[in-house]
Amino acid sequence: MRRLKPTPRRASGFASLGSGSRGNGTLVAIGGSLFLVDCGFPLKQAEARLGRLGVRPGDLTAVLVTHEHSDHASGVPDLTHKYGLPVYASNGTFKAVGHELIGHTVHGDQPFDVNGVTIMPVTVPHDARESVQFVFYHANLKIGVVSDLGCVTPHVIDQYSGCDGILMESNHDREMLMRGRYPIRLKRRIASDLGHLSNDQARDFLTAIAHPRLEVVVGHVSAQNNHSDLLRRTFAQFDTSVACLSFATQQDGCGWTHFADSSGSSIPVAFGHAV
């Protein structure tokens, strides 16, 4: 197990710096550590978005990269170089991003530990070199991040079942995509099993993993091929079957979702300074 810089605060939760095809970043605070999953924002913007959530970049324990697409990886080299942050990604992701990014190689479906937090890189179907998404475990807490997948495999359902919190993709309405202005090749790519989840696919996924304590944030919503009314209609059925459900936007992401710590007491204090 690697010992990296632990953070002194014990609050657990997750938050989004922004979510969508123009940039993604998800914070996961768990077990006293603070992880950033992906950074698809230029340095100044990433710093500002972190600041909005009360986080200084130097507070981060590590940055994990799901895959090489620019909305997930473009900001990682600058951020991690400037602040000397460790990076974790698959071999395929490191190769695809290029020599500007070095770090710890993770392997699909082989869990690893950082500061006592167990992290599972979950293989997902997506048209990148070696995509993984991440599930974090500490004590009784399980937090999952999953976007950029073309279909929900039994393996994905298995890995994300029992989460306390999840940030999950609901990218497009299939009809809007097919009727929209995108070139046919791009439409086919997005709708394929290696593209992105439609609202219907996301609804079926959530149906499979929903439980009354689950805190859900829906993200990676297409600006062109989706609509907030459609999303709300799709997910209205979960009003009583999950603890809460909110939406992360491209511009604002979403604020912290908090969990009780392992001793069972709820900690209302978020990370850092200006929350």
CA nearest neighbour of 106 among 117, 96, 92:
92
Is the CB of 67 or the CB of 258 nearer to Zn ion?
Answer: 67
Q: For the chain, what is the HEC assignment?
A: CECCCCCCCCCEEEEEEECCCCCCEEEEEECCEEEEECCCCCHHHHHHHHHHCCCCHHHCCEEECCCCCHHHHCCHHHHHHHHCCCEEEEHHHHHHHCCCCCCEEECCCCCEEECCEEEEEEECCCCCCCCEEEEEEECCEEEEEECCCCCCCHHHHHHHCCCCEEEEECCECHHHHHHCCCCHHHHHHHHCCCCCCEHHHHHHHHHHHCCCCCEEEEECCCCCCCCHHHHHHHHHHHCCCCCEEEECECCCEEEEEEEECCCCCECCCCCCCCC
Is the CB of 12 or the CB of 16 nearer to Zn ion?
Answer: 16
Q: How far is the CB of 167 from Zn ion (least distance, A)?
A: 12
Q: How far is the CB of 52 from Zn ion (least distance, A)?
A: 21
Q: How far is the CB of 98 from Zn ion (least distance, A)?
A: 17
* Number of residues lying near Zn ion (CB under 5 A): 3
Six token digits for residue 203:
């609804």
Q: Mask 173-212, x = binds Zn ion (CB under 5 A)?
A: ----------------------------------------
Q: Mask 108-147, x = binds Zn ion (CB under 5 A)?
A: ----------------------------------------
Is the CB of 148 or the CB of 164 nearer to Zn ion?
Answer: 148
Residue pair 258/9 in contact by the 8 Å Cβ criterion = no
Q: How far is the CB of 177 from Zn ion (least distance, A)?
A: 15
Q: How far is the CB of 64 from Zn ion (least distance, A)?
A: 15
Is the CB of 71 or the CB of 173 nearer to Zn ion?
Answer: 71
- Restricted to residues 144-173, the positions that interact with Zn ion (CB under 5 A) are 148
Q: How far is the CB of 178 from Zn ion (least distance, A)?
A: 20
Q: Mask 9-48, x = binds Zn ion (CB under 5 A)?
A: ----------------------------------------
Is the CB of 41 or the CB of 259 nearer to Zn ion?
Answer: 41
Q: Mask 53-92, x = binds Zn ion (CB under 5 A)?
A: ----------------x-x---------------------
Q: How far is the CB of 126 from Zn ion (least distance, A)?
A: 6
Is the CB of 148 or the CB of 173 nearer to Zn ion?
Answer: 148
Task: Give residue 77's region: left, alpha or beta (phi > 0; psi -120 to 50).
Answer: alpha
What is the sign, positive or negative, of the torsion defined by CA atoms of 82, 59, 69, 176? negative
Q: Which residues bind Zn ion (CB under 5 A)?
A: 69, 71, 148
